[in-house]
């Protein structure tokens, strides 16, 4: 987690300070949620293995819980990975661009990302609502719960991109460029 560069927050006034604080809070919250989900998933899988091989009776809910948590981890982790530049990228074209063209290319990339994430929010919401009456097989929870990961993750991606732009930054093209993004 990188801190904003010296003077970057104050230079933009209260809106920039608010955006930097919000971005840090979202990132910390995502870190806690992702860490907790991983812990619960590991404990669930260990419990399933113990149940299956020690007690000869595996609980039915552990596999389903792990699948649902994996979906949430993927969507929330996508938003969390934006800030550090942890997404896979090929940068040979971007590295060769002059600064002005690079700024345009990154703006175009961010616009495409916001558009794709917006579609994920819209259609994810429709999909979650469509399947709201269905219950999961093992845990008997509405399928809206796992499917809600799609619009929530998409919305967080949009928020993270917009906050980066409000702060006058773009997401790094490589993880090594991550210093000073926010």
d(CA 19, CA 8): 12
Question: Does 126 fall in a domain?
Answer: yes
Number of domains in the chain: 1
d(CA 106, CA 23): 19
Task: Tell me the two tokens of residue 172.
Answer: 């790094």
CB atoms within 10 A of CB 23: 22
Residue 136's pLDDT is 95
Compute the C-alpha angle 61/63/68, nearest 5°: 95
Series of mean pLDDT values for 10-residue runs along the chain (182 residues):
44 81 94 97 96 93 96 95 81 89 91 96 97 94 96 96 81 54 44
Question: Does 3 fall in a domain?
Answer: no
Residues 6+ apart with CB under 8 A from 82: 157, 160, 161, 164, 171
Question: Does 5 fall in a domain?
Answer: no
Residue 9's pLDDT is 42
Contact 89, 39 (CB under 8 A): no
Give bridge partners of residue 135 from the DSSP assignment: 142
Residue 12's pLDDT is 66
Question: Does 182 fall in a domain?
Answer: no
Residue 181's pLDDT is 46
Give bridge partners of residue 46 from the DSSP assignment: none
Residue 110's pLDDT is 92
User: What residue numbers bound the domain in which 153 lies?
Assistant: 12-177
């Amino acid at each position: 987690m990188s801190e904003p560069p010296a003077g970057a927050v104050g230079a933009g006034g209260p809106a920039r300070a608010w955006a930097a604080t919000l971005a840090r809070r979202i990132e910390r919250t995502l870190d806690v949620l992702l860490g907790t989900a991983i812990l619960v998933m590991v404990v669930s899988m260990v419990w399933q293995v113990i149940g299956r091989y020690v007690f000869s009776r595996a609980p039915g809910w552990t596999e389903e819980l792990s699948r649902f948590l994996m979906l949430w981890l993927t969507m929330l982790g996508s938003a969390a990975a934006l800030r550090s530049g942890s997404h896979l990228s090929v940068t040979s074209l971007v590295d060769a661009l002059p600064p002005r063209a690079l700024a345009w290319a990154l703006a175009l990339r961010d616009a495409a990302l916001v558009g794709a994430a917006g579609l994920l929010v819209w259609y994810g919401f429709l999909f979650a609502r469509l399947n709201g009456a269905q219950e999961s097989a093992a845990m008997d929870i509405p399928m809206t719960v796992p499917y809600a990961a799609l619009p929530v993750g998409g919305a967080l991606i949009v928020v993270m991109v917009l906050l980066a732009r409000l702060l006058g930054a773009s997401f790094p093209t490589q993880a090594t460029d991550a210093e000073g993004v926010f």
